[in-house]
Amino acid sequence: MDNINERNGIPLLGDKFPQVKVTTTRGEKILPDDYKGKWFVLFSHPADFTPVCTTEFVAFQQRYGKFKALNCELIGMSVDQVFSHIKWEEWIQDKLGVEITFPIIADTGAMANKLGLIHPGKGTNTVRAVFIVDAEGTIRIMLYYPQELGRNMDEILRAVEAMQIADKNKVAMPANWPNNELIGDNVIIPPAKDVDTAKRRLIEAEAGEFECYDWWLCHRKLKQ
């Protein structure tokens, strides 16, 4: 697969996050190197001192501990200058009583252009994008929202946890996990890829190793 450093346009899932030095409210950082061994969520916002973005930053901060418990860091970003980020942080703390403790990137536009974050038809404003990057620096999930819609941080937190579980256990995660309408908090065993495995699935299910609706739809509890 091509690396996005060698290809123009929006990155693809499975690409390595591009190496870039950025200025943030917590000093200069090099992405993704400074987060090696950790997952991180990079999320862009249209502009500082805007109502929807303010509600988002409060929501992210209130869940920051839960992200950190998953070995995952948060990184905000917009094309505003760093002094604007700092003043906005001060306003949020003074008026709303919430201290923003994760870094916010002050982008010159280079990263926004590279990641496809400039909102079409709206000047230099960045879209509400989310990049979930794993501990190896690989982009695992990308989400893009219009300016008018604030993000659901619980869904982003769920996505990080679910991907980590899927990686560790070599399973897939059902819709609305851990509250799926069919199998609750069970996880899905990847479908059989050959005839022999398909035949074994139902035999293994009868032996109680897992449950199946059919050989291609089997599920089990997470192993402790």
- Higher pLDDT residue, 1 or 143? 143
Point out which residues pair with 74 in neighbouring strands: 41
pLDDT > 60? residue 78: yes
Cα(198)–Cα(172) distance, rounded to whole angstroms?
A: 17
CATH 3.20.20.210 fits 170-224, yes or no: no
- pLDDT for residue 146: 85
CATH 3.40.30.10 residue ranges of the chain are 4-151
- pLDDT for residue 7: 43
Residue type, 95: K
CATH 3.30.1020.10 residue ranges of the chain are 170-224
Instruction: Give the up-direction half-sphere exposure of residue 110: CA atoms within 13 A in the CB hemisphere.
Output: 10
**C-alpha 80, offset from chain centre:** 22
85-131 pLDDT per residue, tens: 999 999 999 999 999 999 999 988 778 877 878 766 655 667 889 99
pLDDT > 90? residue 51: yes
- CATH no. for 4-151: 3.40.30.10
Cα(70)–Cα(17) distance, rounded to whole angstroms?
A: 20
Range of weakest confidence among 16-30, 68-82, 110-124: 110-124
Which residues are catalytically annotated?
A: 53
- pLDDT for residue 123: 57
Q: Given pLDDT bands bounded at 50, 70 and 90, which one contains residue 199?
A: confident
The sign of the dihedral angle between the CA atoms of 5, 7, 9, 13 is negative
Q: Nearest 5 degrees, angle CA 33-CA 87-CA 77?
A: 30
- Taking Cα atoms as reference points, which of 86, 131, 91, 117 lies closest to residue 104? 86
The DSSP element (H or E) to which 167 belongs, if any, is helix 153-169
- pLDDT for residue 191: 87
- pLDDT for residue 224: 62
Point out which residues pair with 139 in neighbouring strands: 133
Mean pLDDT of 124-153: 91
pTM: 0.90
- What do you get for the CA distance between the two ends of the chain, in Å? 35
Residue type, 16: K
Q: What is the pLDDT of the chain when averaged over all its residues? A: 90
- pLDDT for residue 120: 61
Burial class of residue 43 (count of CB atoms within 10 Å of its CB; 0-12, 13-18, 19+): buried
